[in-house]
Amino acid sequence: MTNLTCIIIDDEKRNATFLKNLLNQHCPDVNILATETNPKNGLLLIKELTPQLVFLDVEMPGLNGFDFLKKIEPVDFEVIFVTAYSHYAIEAFEHHAIGYLTKPINTEKLIAAVATAASRVMLKLISKQTVTKGESAQPDLQSQKVPLSTSNGMIFVKMEEICFCESSGNYTFFQFPGRRSE
């Protein structure tokens, strides 16, 4: 997987544009399919474009983020809520969100949330491959890429390129042949 497809749904255009710019700058492997300020149009976009990830505002006129997700069930994409309000966090995770970012967006938290989304998407793809090939068949992990969050953004590396991982507190250092660790 080289790109993670996403849609941004936020009723304030400047917030959607700001998030789009942050993603382009810090998460270049995220392919932004569309941004939408009208949540009802966002429902149509999701059906049409089938993104792997949706960035979703909570408080929007006409249809809040939680009611938005109820109209789509089952949700077959990852959700990262982006909102100015911290008091919706518990409800967001009850709706299976993998991230909850408060505005103004912290870049490190954005990168981490995107990396989590990418990992979950990859696990779903591997799971589908396993089911498609049969329960006893192993997916081709050699060609799979894993997302790694670095100080410069997110990178995708082939699993076969990782020599070893070393844990250090809240960080994990990855060693690659002929490269410095990330």
pLDDT tens for residues 61-82? 989 999 999 999 788 899 999 9
Nearest to 12 by CA among 79, 77, 61: 61
| 20 contact partners, CB below 8 Å, separation of at least 6 | 8, 32, 35
Q: What is the pLDDT of residues 129-159, one digit of tens each?
A: 666 555 544 455 555 677 776 766 667 777 7
Instruction: Tell me if the pTM is above 0.85.
Output: no
Q: Fold for domain 4-122?
A: Rossmann fold (3.40.50)
- Over range 123-131, report the average pLDDT: 72
* Separation of alpha carbons 100 and 81, rounded Å: 5
CA–CA distance, 150 with 28 (Å, rounded to integer): 12
